[in-house]
Structure 1
Amino acid sequence: MRMLITRPEPDAQATRDRLAALDIAADIAPLMTRQNLPGHLPPPDGFAAVALTSTNALRALSETASLEPLFDKPVFAVGDRTAHEARQLGFARVTAADGTLESLATTIALARVGGPVFYPAGKHLSGDLAHALAPHGLMVVTVPVYEMVAETALAADAIAGLAASAFGAVLFYSRRTAEIFCTLVADVIAPADRRNLPVICLSENVAAPLLNHHFSRVLLADHPSEEAMLALSLAFAREQTGS
């Protein structure tokens, strides 16, 4: 059983290492690369809290030396992994939501934040946090601090492996990654073969583009987290290999 990881670095290598600890071999074919965006951030003293939906936002702010002025703010992270990264970088008051934008909005609303929320985000957003919090009377200032740039081609070894049906499954962590994958493999995987390739997805939203392109062997994590993806990968590998 060999799997293909499509998420960007450095997360792809981290997932590969965790799969290896479960005796699952994996290749890496990142479909996006993070680029920090230039620009000036608004003064931190105008915000009552920080919202985070990605560790990439933290990495972008860290690399541009923009984190320290925010350390005294309470942080609301979309999930445990992003919360852990925030604590590692120096935030002391961090609350983790349940892994979805909806749960993050609910967590912030219930905290009764007393002022505008700063939301450093990616250029391509999969959800609208400002819209979700508007009914609660909360203002969200969304500032793009990074962009995930799509790759224009798959790595040659990944193409060869897909063409030879060498991968037991492909892992997807974001809808945009799934969309890019479908575009890049249009001439690599025949429609009939797509129905036989298992795809392991973080959520239904992530899986939607794959289903639209006739990848019908879709496995969904029972929770939008890395732990759930790894548990599903292990269960699937054991089922396929009988071990």
Structure 2
Amino acid sequence: MDGMMHMLVTRPLPDAQATAERLAALGIASTLAPLMSRQTLAANLPPAQGFAAIAITSTNALRALADLNALSQLLDIPVFAVGDRTAHEARQLGFAEVEAAEGTLDSLVTRIALARLAGPVFYPAGRHLSGDLAGALAPHGLMVVTSPVYEMVAETGLDPDVATGLAQGAFGATLLYSRRTAEIFCALAAPILPDSRRRDRPMLCLSENVAAPLLENRFSRVLLADHPSEEAMMALALAFAREQTGP
């Protein structure tokens, strides 16, 4: 490596590739180590009629709906997306009415509650839910019909080159975008990194929720994005790289 900052990207494909390209544009090299892969589930979806809105908390849900050939019947229903990137993907797929929250489940709940919907909410989700949308909207008198449409399957081991790089401190930082990814990373990195080595490994995290498993596993050099978005993660990566290598 030639003095250029080199980072480890742990998010699933195709998002990992998009992140690598954005890092490259900032002059940061990267290695992809997706810790999960998406599998579309054979979902038995409810009829679209009668839903007042669709809640989307991940672009993976949209990709799964496309895999299931379910988009055409849903495109006229208003979409509430968790953040800008998910909203952009929904518009690209042809949804006519899309509103973006601020990147967190709480902001999505608030946005949906303020819309004063006249019917139930359809929530195509992952098998492993990171938050309880239905429970959060129940006090607002809203019924949520949750359909698991995809599963993020955890990797059971690290690529040997990635494992060696981690052990040798070859990566200037590791980028983590979800709590479950952080949990998987901790499990797979534990045999490679003793506690004493974890303390000096920089971890760049999307949010406090993502960082929690790292702190529990004695990774103490944890930096948080200012906002749960890819833009904020890129700003964090660039600021960190400049701090380490100079402008």
After TM superposition, the score normalised by the length of structure 2 is 0.98
Q: CA deviation at 1:190?
A: 1.6
Q: 1:42 aligns with which of 39, 46, 56?
A: 46
Question: Is 1:237 aligned to residue 208 of structure 2?
Answer: no
1:27 to 31, 46, 56: 31
Q: Corresponding residue for 2:15?
A: 11
- Indicate the residue corresponding to 1:60 in structure 2: 64
* 1:63-212 equivalence runs, <5 A: 63-212=67-216
- Deviation readout 1:24-52 (Å, 9 max, x if unpaired): 00000000010001121000002111000
CA distance, structure 1, for counterparts of residue 239 and residue 190 of structure 2: 29
Where does structure 2 lack aligned partners over 5 or more consecutive residues? none
Q: How far, CA to CA, are the matches of 1:31 and 1:3 in structure 2?
A: 15
What SS class does the counterpart of residue 44 from structure 1 fall into?
A: coil
Say whether the 8 Å CA contact 2:13–2:34 is kept in structure 1: yes
Q: Partner residue of 1:221?
A: 225
Q: Distance in 1 between matches of 2:222 and 2:43?
A: 40
Q: Normalising by structure 1, report the TM-score.
A: 0.99
Number of equivalent positions: 243
Measured in 2, the distance between the counterparts of 1:94 and 1:129 equals 18
Structure 1: 5+ residue stretches without partners: none
> Offset of 1:221 from its aligned partner?
0.4
Displacement of 1:220: 0.3
Cα distance in 2 for partners of 1:156, 1:11 equals: 22
Q: 1:173-227 deviations in whole A, cap 9, x for unaligned?
A: 0000000010001111121110000000000010000001110000000100000
> 2:149 is aligned with what amino acid?
V
Give percent identity, aligned residues only. Answer: 72
Query: In 1, are the aligned partners of 2:24 and 2:30 still within 8 Å (CA)?
Result: yes
- Residue pair 2:177, 2:205 contacting (<8 A) in 1 also: yes
